[in-house]
Chain A
Amino acid sequence: MSRQSLCRPWEHQLSRRRLLGTMASGAAGLGAGALGGLVEPAVAEELSRQEKQVIFIWLDGGMSQLESWDPKPNTQFGGPFRDIETSVPGVRFSELLPHTARQMHHLAVVRSLHTQDNSHSAGVARINRGDPKNRGVVYPYFGSAVAKLLGPTSTGMPPYVWVKPYSSGFKADDAGFLGARYGALAIGDGEPKNDGLPLEPPENLLLNPAVSEADNQARNDLRRMFNKRYASSRRPEWTDASSYVFDVAHKLMERIDLFDDTKISDKDRERYGQHDLGRYMLMARRLIESGVRFVKVNSYHWDSHGDHFNGSQSLIPQFDQPFAALIEDLHDRSMLDNVLVVVMSEFGRTPRINSHVGRDHWPEAWSVAMAGAGLNRGLTVGKTNAEGTFVDGQEHDVGHLFHTWFQALGVASQEVEYNNAGQPLPIAHDDHWPIKELLA
């Protein structure tokens, strides 16, 4: 937005390096957003459409593979639900996923997950970090990893946004050793505020009511004037970094419409549903359309140790309806080629049904669904045995998925490394590999 008119040769150099996303200093970590002012808005939108993006849906507690992606009806542990046909002949889902079944020709389902941790406390973080080898550092979650490796899109929107229940704000924890600037900007669902905003925007996102749009423009022009004079005789990095964050802040403030419920069409409202997960997934679509690189969506209460089947009957449809709508929308808008969509949990659920009619934690054999970003469509990878207790054939760990997703996003996962203050670190488990069947 505010480029200095007095540019020096090294500034151009800086911008180019930023575009390549290779600088390691504080200012540089901000990535390609420096382009924000150089690209015409229409062009920027086109560019961002061609840029890879991610929607990562996290069903916290563990969704049951048997009531969703890998049903085993009429077997010892199959439970009461039937299976149904999908849009891909031969692939069958649980009857609790009727909408999603009709989108199967866009999806890829890995049914051979075998992961290492059956506890929530450690398992959540391990899965989210791709469970790499322990090298004594705290690895980033997938969203922070993508924010680091791909940076923001050319729209200037922040790279990593997290749609979640409860609190909003800037959450650094996901970033691990990458540092806070690769953390998530969280959009939460706080207490009802009766202000017409469905999801709570980050703090201070609304233009202060005492400041008119015109005054905001004027005071920021003054800020730019002081910055320009200051920067005209100094190294440009810090002024650039400061200008960049004010630009992103304004970019977000301009998109306050994202938090305005009245902008949602009745059709979308109906298709995504009015429950939380539906509203979150619709928000995810809108954020991706606005140019956010990575959107994480959280849903809780999937840890059904008791009364599992009644629980599934109420919970899984809340996932099914909006997820199918999301896939359909991304496809209709020609976005699915560039947007990777992933649905996962920290583990699956036990085939054995416990005495409380629940299913417990089961990392031994479970499923993850995904779509988009050039992944092959309409296929399943791997399988479980007849009773769904173990993987039959090649097992896949979360490290294989991370490799596959990075590859789909154009990152050579077996070559690219993080540089943690001189310590080179593989971006995914070094003993794992991309799943060939999924990559075109």
Chain B
Amino acid sequence: MFLLFRAALILLPVFVLSTAATAAEPLHVEIDRLIEAKFAGRSPAEQTDDTAFLRRIWLDLAGRIPSTTETRQFLADTSPDKRQKLIDQLLAAPSRVDRLENLFHVMLQERRGDNEEWQKFLRTSFEQNKPWNQMVREILNPNDQDENLRGSAFFYTSRLKPYGQNATDWEGLTRDVGRLFLGVDLQCAECHNHLFVDDYKQVEFQGLFAVFRNLTVRGGVKFPAINQQAMTEQLEFVSVFDPAQRQTGPRVPFMKEFPVPPLPEATDGKPAPKKKLTPADIGFDPLALLATDLPVAENDLFVRNIVNRLWFAMMGRGLVMPLDLFHSGNPASHPELLDLLAREFAAHQFDMNWFLRELALTRTYQRSSQLPAGTEMAPPAADFLVGIEKRLSAEQLLESVLEATGNAARLKQPQADGKPNEEYTKLLKQFQAAFANEEREPEVDFNASVKAALFLLNDDDVLNLLKPVETNLAARLAKIDDPRQLMDELFLSVLVRLPAEEERTAVLAYLEQNSSRRDVALGHVLWGMLSSIEFCVNH
């Protein structure tokens, strides 16, 4: 990694350094080879059984658990390549757009609110399977002329607000661009070179800050938009440890600095007032330069950041953790693999669908989250010997609850006036309030909260989903007399698996004790399942 940083600094193309694996085999085969090479004789967990795989891939690529019909279909399919077929089917389905919109919205906005234009930008991007480098270019330099693209400015406008001691939080925006697009958290390098991360120099922060501090939110328009004032001189800064004045032009961190051109001679002999100049006036547009030169294959950090984040989304742990702390003192758990992923992703024109497909096809992805029998000590998560549990977003959880309880069809049907169902909208807000992180907090770790527990325990709207309405699960179960069939339907619907014998016995005994009020008792069984950890995470 240290070499790579140096390489980036002196603008060597990264490809020169990567001499290892040749991609003779498909990427997913190479991934498994490199992951398994580190097992060193230890037994990995088994591959998932069909139901565990099915639940996992639906949550990851469709954002919800499968319906019982979808589950039964998959279980009945005896073809050997049925997993691959399902992966392809889910990647081609419209639900992929919903899922990726949610994944990237939460990743990039960190719960700073939402905006219809931003949604439109994300949705059209994922509908077209837009290459990641293009998407980032469009985010970094918003195109206010194109209705499908202009919403990308929400990334800026949602951040150009007062925060803490900053009247406009350009510093926070600078930090986030580093974190989210390059995997480097330069916050500590704002006032001095980072004290513990040698690679993070103050000039990298300040150079990126120089690009953004000329941005303001544009008023008077109904869509998110920004203005950029011209940059007419270098940014001056000092370190709190060193009073020497230093300067920088705008920079792509760890890659290049754009020299600030001298102000053009004014024709009438008087220089134009600096305040009113636009980038076009002086032919120097730092935002456009950044957007052109940051999201490129040669920018090692840019490529590694996104493959690491997509790997994290699918595998539950980044090859580099924390996701925004790439530096030479924090190497990847599998450096050669990270190299390979970055190289291949760039070689495939930043095609996220292709990349997600390759990850999903690996044995690594399809490994069970159950520890091998006889395990005394859980192996380190970073070895990927055992499938890693993943947090569900508030939205994944809600969609899964609606699917499990058979209320999705009813509540996701738009109203007569074309607006989303009111009950659905309310539930979405409630789920976000209970399960999402606070604004500005990345959603990485599982975040159990007392608030969410109380919500599940006592909220009327949650409990109402468990009552028989139309053809929802509770209503379907009420009509099943055969105990075995009842249990199978219940478990397949909610936990996407068949019951173990002891569960069947315990639940039937409980229902038997409450035979005079079976609907109520079934509601409690449903609740016990929905609030279990098994339901609330992707495992």
Chain A residues close to B by CB (< 8 Å) = 8-10, 25-27, 30, 122, 134, 136-138, 158, 169-170, 172, 179-181, 183, 185, 202-208, 210-211, 215-216, 218-223, 225-227, 229-231, 233-235, 237-239, 241-242, 244-246, 248-249, 252-253, 421-423
Contacts and interface: CB of A to CB of B under 8 A. Distances in A.
B457 A185 contact: no
B164 A138 contact: yes
Contacts of A30: 448
B292 to A, nearest CB: 30
B454 interface: yes
Contacts of A218: 510, 524
A219 B54 CA distance: 27
A396 B507 CA distance: 65
B447 A181 contact: yes
Given A222-B510, A230-B533, A421 B369 contact: no
B3 interface: no
Contacts of A223: 527-529, 531-532
A207 B459 CA distance: 9
B457 A249 contact: yes
Contacts of A421: 185, 322, 325
A220 B455 contact: no
Nearest to A247: B453
Closest 6 pairs between A and B when the two form their complex, measured CB to CB: A222-B528, A26-B445, A226-B532, A249-B453, A219-B524, A204-B454
Contacts of B187: 136-137
Interface string B135-149: 000000000000000
Nearest to A26: B445
B441 A179 contact: yes
Interface string B101-132: 00000000000000000000000000000000
Interface string B150-171: 0000000000000011000001
Given A26-B448, A234-B539, A238-B537, A219 B527 contact: yes
Contacts of A222: 506-507, 510, 524-525, 527-529
Nearest to B389: A238
A8 B389 CA distance: 19
Interface in B499-528: 500, 502-503, 506-507, 510, 520, 524-525, 527-528
A205 B524 contact: no
A180 B448 contact: no
Nearest to B455: A204
Contacts of A237: 446
Contacts of A27: 446, 448
Nearest to A201: B454
A185 B531 contact: no
Interface string B20-44: 0000000000000000000000000
Contacts of A26: 445-448
Contacts of A226: 495, 503, 528-529, 532-535
B428 interface: no
B525 A245 contact: no
A210 B375 CA distance: 43
Given A215-B520, A422-B196, A229 B450 contact: no
Nearest to B329: A422
A245 B452 contact: yes
B389 A423 contact: no
Contact of A234 (B325, B389, B529): B389
B377 interface: yes
A183 B439 CA distance: 13
Contacts of B539: 230, 234
B534 A185 contact: no
A9 B322 CA distance: 28
A235 B45 CA distance: 12
B438 interface: yes
B533 A206 contact: no
Contacts of B171: 136
Contacts of A241: 446, 448
Nearest to A243: B533
Contact of B454 (A136, A203, A239): A203
Nearest to A183: B438
Given A219-B527, A222-B510, A235-B378, A211 B463 contact: yes
Contacts of B535: 226
Given A8-B376, A226-B533, 10 more contacts: A26-B446, A27-B448, A180-B437, A207-B458, A208-B457, A208-B460, A222-B527, A226-B528, A235-B389, A421-B322
Given A26-B446, A170-B449, A219-B528, A9 B458 contact: no
20 contacts: A25-B445, A27-B448, A136-B187, A136-B191, A169-B451, A204-B457, A205-B454, A211-B463, A219-B528, A225-B503, A226-B532, A226-B533, A229-B503, A230-B534, A235-B386, A238-B533, A238-B537, A246-B531, A249-B454, A423-B196
Contacts of B532: 223, 226-227, 230
Contacts of A220: 528
Contacts of A233: 370-371
A421 B507 CA distance: 45
Given A136-B187, A234-B539, A210 B463 contact: yes
Interface of B: 164-165, 171, 185, 187-188, 190-191, 196-197, 322, 325, 369-371, 375-378, 381, 386, 389, 437-438, 441, 445-455, 457-460, 463, 495, 500, 502-503, 506-507, 510, 520, 524-525, 527-529, 531-537, 539
Contact of B376 (A9, A158, A245): A9
A220 to B, nearest CB: 7
B228 to A, nearest CB: 25
A244 B188 CA distance: 34
B371 A234 contact: yes
B459 A204 contact: yes
A93 B292 CA distance: 69
B153 to A, nearest CB: 26
Residue from A134, A235, A248, A423 with most neighbouring chain B CB atoms (10 Å) = A235
Contact of B450 (A134, A138, A170, A221): A170
Contacts of B449: 170, 180-181, 245
Contacts of A238: 389, 446, 448, 533, 537
Contacts of A170: 449-451
B458 A204 contact: yes
Contact of A248 (B437, B450, B531): B450
A7 B403 CA distance: 33
Nearest to A424: B196
Nearest to A226: B532
A138 B187 CA distance: 12
A83 B230 CA distance: 64
Nearest to B378: A235
B246 to A, nearest CB: 18
Contacts of A8: 375-376
Contacts of A216: 457
Contacts of B524: 211, 215, 218-219, 222
Contacts of B537: 238
Contacts of B196: 422-423
B188 A10 contact: no
Given A185-B450, A421-B325, A9 B377 contact: yes
A396 to B, nearest CB: 24
A122 B187 CA distance: 22
B62 to A, nearest CB: 22
A208 to B, nearest CB: 4
A417 B185 CA distance: 21
Residue from A138, A205, A210 with most neighbouring chain B CB atoms (10 Å) = A210
Contacts of A180: 437-438, 441, 447, 449
Contacts of B531: 223, 246
A208 B523 CA distance: 14
Nearest to A122: B165
Contacts of A179: 438, 441
B310 to A, nearest CB: 22
A10 B378 contact: yes
Nearest to A134: B165
